[in-house]
Structure 1
Amino acid sequence: MNILMVGPDSHEKGGIATVIANFQQHYSSEKHQLFFLSSWSNKNKYQTEWRAVRSIRQIIRAKQIDIVHFHVAQKGSFFRKALLSKLVPKRCRVIFHMHASQFDLFYKKARQPLQALIRSTFNQIDHVVVLGENWATFYQTLTDTKVSIIQNAVQVPKSPLYDEKAQTIVTFGRIGKRKGSYDLLQVAARIEPFFPKVKFVLYGDGDVEKVNNQIRTMGLRNVNLGGWVSKEEQAEILKGTLLHFLPSYHEGLPMAILETMAAGVPNLTTDVGDISELIENDVNGIMTSPGDVEMMTDEISSFIRNDDNRRSKYSQNAFRTIESEFSIATYMVRWEAVYESL
């Protein structure tokens, strides 16, 4: 079978682009061949979108496509894929691979006609793939279309990269309210008087200027913004990282958590989305409630002091979790089974 994968350009920033890049680099099958169509890029947004609309039928015909695999988030991403899915010939099977971190809020806030359009779109496709149990339960309330769970995955190094003596706490990904960036600043302010050598660095894009202004307003000397980094740069950063801190309010299954755990770097994160399928509190990382700045401060303080040798325990268990359950090899086998089922 021939499969057309539709989503953002794999060179773009963000978790979905990373997932598509992993398919490009690691998917191999004797039965199926993958082709790729970019439906969004940051630099040439409208040209890329229009090119996808114009060319999707032509590609399906020329490459004799059997399955179209759409990577879908909320808002504009959903509407683009909804339109493109209408252009797919009926002989083809259609998968919506849902990466949205706030699709439940997107749906809840939508007016009734838009909610009806969302439900109709899901009912007209052949398969929905989500990132975990919580999201599966939600999408099953919207559609009778089959919903399957395939959790994200990453390439696993041969051994952990973790340095227990590191003194830098990092965050990778979008910067802003949804990711809890402002809560992070509150935690950093509370940590600084007691652990002045520990630094916080936020790597990514988003509300960079707003967060930078807040850093200056609060007079924080232990927080820096590191910009967006490549995968190669990220690997080097992780060698000097004590903890990955992601205090999000809404998530799917963040690639940043998978990537840092694969390197053996422990995580402090929040119990939202399907993160609980990755992080087991006090086993391979730390879980708190979103917005609980006091608890986050206490947990980070304990982690810095290395109470009960937490660093080593979390690091080893995090690496083993990814190695056994979230490897690229396992991920591709699961996708092979979905394609076969269609």
Structure 2
Amino acid sequence: MLSLRSIARSAPRTTSRLAIQSARPSISAFRNTARLQAKWTPFLRVAAAPFSTSMRRFDGNEELIAKLDSEIKVEQDIGDPETYRGNVREFIENGPWELQDEQGSQEVKLSRTYNDEKIEISFSVADIASIEPSSGMNDPDAAYDDAEYDNEPEVSAQSGGANTKGSVNQGRTSGGNVRVAPEDRVAPADRPELDDEEGDYGEGEQQPGASFPVRLLIKITKDSQPGAMEIEAIAQDGEMMIESVFFYPQPDLADPQTAEGEFKRRMVYAGPRYDNLDVELQDLMDQFLRDRNIDTELSLWLPDFVDYKEQKEYVGWLHNVKNFLS
């Protein structure tokens, strides 16, 4: 009886243990499943975007060509670049010079003969491109005036501590008086600089009659004599100013076409500084040029022609760029 009771009591426990064990999954099963999941990776297909995200190339030639065409019309309204201006044409037609003006080249040449001499003048339209608007900061004369003012000794003390009448610059001396600038010692009506300030000229504009400098290279050869003389000069405001004079024993050294010739040219004695020559010698050299029509008339004509030539080449440049982009 006791044994049957113990069997009956232990039966439910055994049954529950079996039920619990059967309900628990084995650890090995989980491990195998985890391995399978690690090996299997889902493939996600990336859908293509319905529109392009890359930057579209913008062709701006049309706008650039339109601007170039507008610039061409503006320049043509100023004047026909293919027609010489009146003063430019008259100088060539009525003078002894032969003009060598090649389209697309910034270098221009004038040539003539004088007795047994062959004279050739070369200049460039690049001189007009190097002009900078005038300003007090870039004026060497203004800087020199400031330095002279700074180095000027102080005005001695005046009796009674009085100031000079009309002085405007503030700055006291050791005696307690107001320092008087040189311009304050001259009456305002007598100051020459006020004459230049009366004109209404904008910044960078030149006064009437003023011109930009044109650099010249004058080469002179003679049939009866060996060698060549080369003169560097500047034409501006109707004046022809000589900067240097060279002499080459061989004519081809004045215009070498090879590296060897250029080396020989540099080895030639360049001569003394022109401004160190005797004044009478400089005057005779100026007269030498005037006798060959390298004079005031030429100096006045050169800036006008360079201005015309620069406009002509600029219009040609606009046309070339426009045609290239079209």
What band does the TM-score fall into relative to the shorter chain?
Answer: under 0.3
Which structure would you say has the larger RCO, counting Cα contacts within 8 Å and 6 or more residues apart?
Answer: 2
Query: Taking structure 2 as the reference length, what is the TM-score of the superposition?
Result: 0.24
Larger radius of gyration: 2
